[in-house]
Structure 1
Amino acid sequence: MQVTETLNEGLKRGYTITVTAAELDAKVQAKLVEAQPEIEMKGFRKGKVPMAILRKQFGPRLIGEAMQEAIDGAMQSHFEASGDRPALQPEVKMVGGEDWKEGQDVVVEMSYEALPPIPDLDASNVTLERLVVKADPAAVDEALANLADNAKSFEDRKKGSKAKDGDQVTIDFEGFIDGEAFEGGKGESYPLVLGSGSFIPGFEEQLVGAKAEDEVEVKVSFPENYGAAHLAGKEALFKCKVHAVKAPKAAELDDELATKFGAESLEALKGQIAERLEAEYKGAARAVLKRSLLDQLDGLVKFDLPSKLVEAEAAQIAHQLWHEENPDVHDHNHGHVEATDEHKKLAERRVRLGLLLAEVGRKADVTVSDQEMTQAVLNAARQYPGQERAFFEFVQKNAQMQQQLRAPIFEDKVVDLIVSGAKVSDKEISKEDLQKAVEALDEI
């Protein structure tokens, strides 16, 4: 077997792998000898089938296996000897292809881009500012008021009172399109909070001013992007009967309210709210810190980038942004989205930072534990209520999905590692300033 270099230009590599006919034949022969004792064939005792018959019967299939094993072995030996790590799966093409015949040498062309050598990162050259926000009494009171609003009740208004925005009306309704009732357009004794936006646009506004026992005709148009295709864009008439008009009554800020949210007392609930707020602030501050770190790393370490990796990332960015800008188009065959220079620049940043973080993690033996992966799967499974078991089974069988869940955990652990070696100072700010800092983070 011979491996000959044909290209060594930047990160691009090219090789010709030659497996001689004699080497291939020897591998096939070895496979036949190994299998012979277990083979049974009509007219022969087990293990006594002549080699010539075995070769005729199984030779063609074993040649393919031997060829693949020889090429895979040559590639593995090459990567071990050269130290190269391919950025993407190498392209392998057999010379001669369909014209190849048994008894000929097998010649394969292999090409790939190698991952670049990445300089060591000195984390002490990184200077970061960690934003700190305390959950002050005003923020706790605001969050407590929101909880009370969510726990509010509704009481019947005085007989003959007109419904206002924010009131709850209890209604029967039935929808018609072109005079025909449609499926799913009927409800009885439905409690609807006016202004909640829970019904299609324009519906709730037309019930403002209605009184108990009123019959109201509501005319609306279903949105063009409505989930039910047979209703999308259609004009509809809803016949509504109002049974009750109720005014909102805010929940009292007391121990009884606290128990509704699992706390022993109002003071305990305030303590829980403060902890939750500070956890939210800490998470937001970490996002700002991480962006600052990535910005510094992007300018701190430079190395050549595999062009195909950048091209693939740019194409993915272009495709993703196109769908974000065209959320109503669900056709995935809309055609090729051309990556712009801006997409390519963003792709270069992502690839550079991805390779750098991967290398820092590799050198520091950063790993994702089974426990961390299990927690990640549990978190992801919550998006599929009732289908958690099916999701678990899907992840177990899907290596790509496992990698999607593992990658952000690995990245966060590497980020924490770098931050632990960086110069970090704390800066106490208001929650408003933290919110501005978060809003300034454009998607990267």
Structure 2
Amino acid sequence: MQVTETLNEGLKRGYAITVTAAELDAKVNEKLVEAQPGIEMKGFRKGKVPMALLKKQYGERLTGEAMQETIDGAMNQHFEESGDRPAMQPDVKMTNDDWKPGDDIEVDMSYEALPEIPEVDLKSVSLEKLVVKAGEADVDEALANLAETAQNFEAREEGAASEDGDQVVIDFLGKVDGEAFDGGAADDFPLVLGSNSFIPGFEPQLVGIKAGVELDVTVSFPEDYQAENLAGKEAVFTCTVKEVKAPVAAELDDELAKKFGAEDLAGLKVQIGERLEAEYAGASRAVMKRAVLDALDKLVSFDLPPSLLESEAGQIAHQLWHEDNPEVEGHDHPEIETTDEHKALAERRVRLGLLLAELGQKAEVEVTDAEMTQAIMGQARQYPGQEREFFEFVQKNAQMQQQLRAPIFEDKVIDYVFELADVSEKEVSKDDLQKAVEALEEE
């Protein structure tokens, strides 16, 4: 086997690989010898079929396998000896298209090598960790919000009109073109006005209505309504308002605390304080993560594989296009061109991605099975009733596994950088932390 370098420019590499006919023939014979003991053929005992006959019978098929294995072996040997790591799958093609048995195999292999990542002194990275303590006012505010979610509704005084946020208890019957339809009727239905749980335009027509009133509510079903026979149709709902109830926040007492799993109100306050500080810590970590990525981006500079840049810029452009055009769910849209802004963002992402991968490899960072299982469970919750099918899908899909593993790996590497960096704490207000988080979203 002969490997000759044909291209070495920047990160681009090219090689001509020659596998001699003798090497290929030896590989085919090796496969035949390996298979011979288990082969039966009429007129011969098992394992006693002559090699020449086996070669005539199976040689052509085994030659194809031998060619692929030999070329793969040559590639693997090259990467082991050169130390190169291809940025993407190498482009491999056979150049002698008129190949016939007895000829050498001529193959061209080209790829872009991953660059050498320079050493980074992580101890030189200075970071500021924003710390927010959950004050009594914050806990009281969260407790009041919690009580509001556990609110009850009490009947307004007789003759009082409904207001936005009230609950009205109604009987209704809906008709399209004068005909009732499935799911268009109910008795004693409790509807919270402003909850947007009914067809758009329905709830506002019940604001300012008193108990005992009967009225027709006319609305149009959305064009994309899930029931095709109703989509875009005008409907008239005959409604009878039976009760009008005002929202009443739950009492801040031990009984409320027990509804949320605490022994008493004091215990619930402790839980709320801990939850708030955990939320603050998560937001603070997001701010510090951006700061460390900015710092690393300034510390390192190295050549980047053009193919990775092009692929990443394309993905960024595609993602941003769909964010700007949320009504387009599929990919049946015009070709999306990448801009200089997309390319600049891609350059940063690829550089930092390669750097974090290198840091993680040297630090022997690994994603555990337990962490992967937790990530899969988190995703599976988005498909209620189909969790088992989702688990099986992930187990069979290496790309999906990588998509779940990548952010976990990145966060563990970031934590590793935090441990080595010079981190100082700064106590700030909740509002200051919120401003810092909003600044991340604006960039």
TM alignment of 1:285-364, pairs within 5 A: 285-364=284-363
Contact 1:121 1:301 (C-alpha < 8 Å) held by counterparts: yes
TM alignment of 1:120-199, pairs within 5 A: 120-199=119-198
Aligned to 1:441: 440
Aligned to 1:78: 78
Aligned to 2:89: 89
Matched, 1:220 2:219: yes
Aligned to 2:35: 35
Tell me by how many angstroms 1:235 deviates: 3.5
Tell me by how many angstroms 1:200 deviates: 3.0
Contact 1:169 1:244 (C-alpha < 8 Å) held by counterparts: yes
Describe the superposition over 1:378-413 as per-residue Cα deviations: whole angstroms up to 9, x where unpaired.
222222222222222111111111111111111111
CA distance in structure 2 between the aligned counterparts of 1:13 and 1:347, rounded to whole angstroms: 22
CA distance in structure 2 between the aligned counterparts of 1:262 and 1:366, rounded to whole angstroms: 37
CA distance in structure 2 between the aligned counterparts of 1:220 and 1:19, rounded to whole angstroms: 75
CA distance in structure 2 between the aligned counterparts of 1:148 and 1:292, rounded to whole angstroms: 37
* % identical equivalent positions: 72
CA 1:375–1:350 in structure 2 vs 1: closer, same or farther (change >3 Å)?
A: same
CA distance in structure 2 between the aligned counterparts of 1:316 and 1:229, rounded to whole angstroms: 34
Describe the superposition over 1:58-114 as per-residue Cα deviations: whole angstroms up to 9, x where unpaired.
1111011100110010000000000000011111111133x3222111111111100
Contact 1:166 1:193 (C-alpha < 8 Å) held by counterparts: yes
Contact 1:172 1:187 (C-alpha < 8 Å) held by counterparts: yes
CA distance in structure 2 between the aligned counterparts of 1:327 and 1:252, rounded to whole angstroms: 42
AA paired with 2:355? Answer: L
AA paired with 1:235? Answer: E
CA 1:233–1:318 in structure 2 vs 1: closer, same or farther (change >3 Å)?
A: farther
CA distance in structure 2 between the aligned counterparts of 1:248 and 1:205, rounded to whole angstroms: 17
Contact 1:360 1:414 (C-alpha < 8 Å) held by counterparts: yes
CA distance in structure 1 between the aligned counterparts of 2:331 and 2:186, rounded to whole angstroms: 36
AA paired with 1:363? Answer: K
Aligned to 2:269: 270
Describe the superposition over 1:229-260 as per-residue Cα deviations: whole angstroms up to 9, x where unpaired.
55454433332222221111211000000000
Aligned to 2:26: 26
AA paired with 1:46? Answer: K
3-state SS of 1:154 partner: strand
CA distance in structure 1 between the aligned counterparts of 2:100 and 2:172, rounded to whole angstroms: 77
AA paired with 1:440? Answer: A
AA paired with 1:10? Answer: G
CA distance in structure 1 between the aligned counterparts of 2:270 and 2:231, rounded to whole angstroms: 47
Aligned to 1:372: 371
AA paired with 2:62? Answer: L
Tell me by how many angstroms 1:375 deviates: 1.8
CA distance in structure 2 between the aligned counterparts of 1:44 and 1:423, rounded to whole angstroms: 77
Q: Quick check: 172-181 or 185-194, which moved more?
A: 172-181
Matched, 1:206 2:192: no
Tell me by how many angstroms 1:189 deviates: 2.5
AA paired with 2:34? Answer: E
CA distance in structure 2 between the aligned counterparts of 1:126 and 1:178, rounded to whole angstroms: 70
Aligned to 1:63: 63
Describe the superposition over 1:181-228 as per-residue Cα deviations: whole angstroms up to 9, x where unpaired.
444433333211111222233211100122223222222233455455
TM superposition score normalised by structure 2? 0.96
3-state SS of 2:440 partner: coil
Q: Quick check: 232-241 or 405-414, which moved more?
A: 232-241
3-state SS of 1:304 partner: coil
Tell me by how many angstroms 1:327 deviates: 1.0
Contact 1:169 1:193 (C-alpha < 8 Å) held by counterparts: yes
Aligned to 1:427: 426
AA paired with 1:174? Answer: L
CA distance in structure 2 between the aligned counterparts of 1:173 and 1:100, rounded to whole angstroms: 79
Contact 1:225 1:328 (C-alpha < 8 Å) held by counterparts: no
CA distance in structure 2 between the aligned counterparts of 1:351 and 1:33, rounded to whole angstroms: 48
Unaligned 5+ runs, structure 2:
none
Tell me by how many angstroms 1:12 deviates: 0.4
CA distance in structure 2 between the aligned counterparts of 1:377 and 1:194, rounded to whole angstroms: 38
CA distance in structure 1 between the aligned counterparts of 2:201 and 2:11, rounded to whole angstroms: 60
TM superposition score normalised by structure 1? 0.96
CA 1:408–1:166 in structure 2 vs 1: closer, same or farther (change >3 Å)?
A: same
Aligned to 2:54: 54
Aligned to 1:44: 44
Tell me by how many angstroms 1:295 deviates: 1.0
Unaligned 5+ runs, structure 1:
none
Describe the superposition over 1:33-73 as per-residue Cα deviations: whole angstroms up to 9, x where unpaired.
11111101122211122222211221111011100110010
3-state SS of 1:441 partner: helix
Describe the superposition over 1:115-150 as per-residue Cα deviations: whole angstroms up to 9, x where unpaired.
000101111221111011111111111110111011
CA distance in structure 2 between the aligned counterparts of 1:390 and 1:443, rounded to whole angstroms: 38
CA distance in structure 1 between the aligned counterparts of 2:227 and 2:72, rounded to whole angstroms: 52
CA distance in structure 2 between the aligned counterparts of 1:126 and 1:227, rounded to whole angstroms: 54
CA distance in structure 2 between the aligned counterparts of 1:288 and 1:212, rounded to whole angstroms: 52
CA distance in structure 2 between the aligned counterparts of 1:384 and 1:420, rounded to whole angstroms: 37
